[in-house]
A and B are shown apart, each in its own frame.
Chain A
């Protein structure tokens, strides 16, 4: 079992604030790093897949970076909106397995 950690566990921000959270993972056995957005009672929704050290991905106001040598990825949300409220999961893919972190629960206060 591989240990994927996310911090902080939860976060409350005001609408319009920018925020970021961290995903840490063991750098050995790395194949890809995935970010998902998970709303209550729904399936996790894929945001990004990153495979190369130094990768940067962007989707609207959300972006992510990857450092495979030191084993971390950051997710950034610019100008948070209430609809961004969700749990953000990262997952380390090694071969056939996906190992998920515990998630960061984001609440954006209007």
Chain B
């Protein structure tokens, strides 16, 4: 069966520090991968999605970037975190776009 792993679960980082969140999917090949963020009091905002290795689409201009170095690995990064980057980050995958399955999420607090 397919599973998705996302880590870490919680993270507290100072302003200006780098960020790396990792998401991996098991049990499937060539999934579509997504990064979402929920800022305080807001819904889930699509940040990035990827339909294949090295193929990244960005939905909103921001302080973040994403990479897909391997078929089932999706990484969310920042060189210098801002206070406004705080939020709950969710990784998701789909196969054929039929249903989206989510990781457990990462609570990021930038201090």
Chain A residues packing against B (C-beta within 8 Å): 1, 4, 6, 31, 34, 41-44, 46, 49, 89, 91, 93, 95-103
How many residues of B sit at the interface, in one of the four size bands?
20 to 34
A102 touches B104 (CB 8 A): no
B15 at the interface (CB under 8 A from A): no
Interface residues of B in 41-58 (CB under 8 A from A): 42-46, 49, 51
Please report the C-alpha to C-alpha distance between residue A6 and residue B44 in the assembled complex, in whole angstroms. Answer: 12
B102 adjacent to A44 (CB under 8 Å): yes
Number of A-B contacts (CB under 8 A): 54
Q: What is B's interface to A at a CB cutoff of 8 Å? A: 32, 34, 36, 42-46, 49, 51, 59-60, 90, 92, 94, 97-105
B43 touches A96 (CB 8 A): no
Please judge, given known A-B contacts A6-B43, A100-B36, whether A95 and B97 are in contact too, CB under 8 Å. Answer: yes
Choose from B42, B43, B100, B104 the contact partner of A34 (Cβ within 8 Å): B100
Partner of B103 from the list A43, A91, A98, A103 (CB cut-off 8 Å) is A43
- In the assembled complex, how far is the CB of residue A7 from the closest CB belonging to chain B, in whole angstroms? 12
Q: Which residues on B sit within 8 Å (CB–CB) of A44?
A: 90, 102
Knowing A1-B59, A1-B60, A42-B104, say if A100 contacts B99 (CB, 8 Å): no
- With A89-B43, A102-B42, A102-B43 already in contact, the answer to whether A49 and B99 are too (CB < 8 A) is yes
Give chain B nearest CB distance to A50 CB in angstroms: 12
Given that A1-B59, A1-B60, A46-B99 are contacting pairs, would A96 and B46 also be in contact in the complex, using a CB cutoff of 8 Å?
A: no
Q: A6-B43, A97-B49, A100-B43 are in contact. Are A91 and B100 (CB under 8 A)?
A: yes
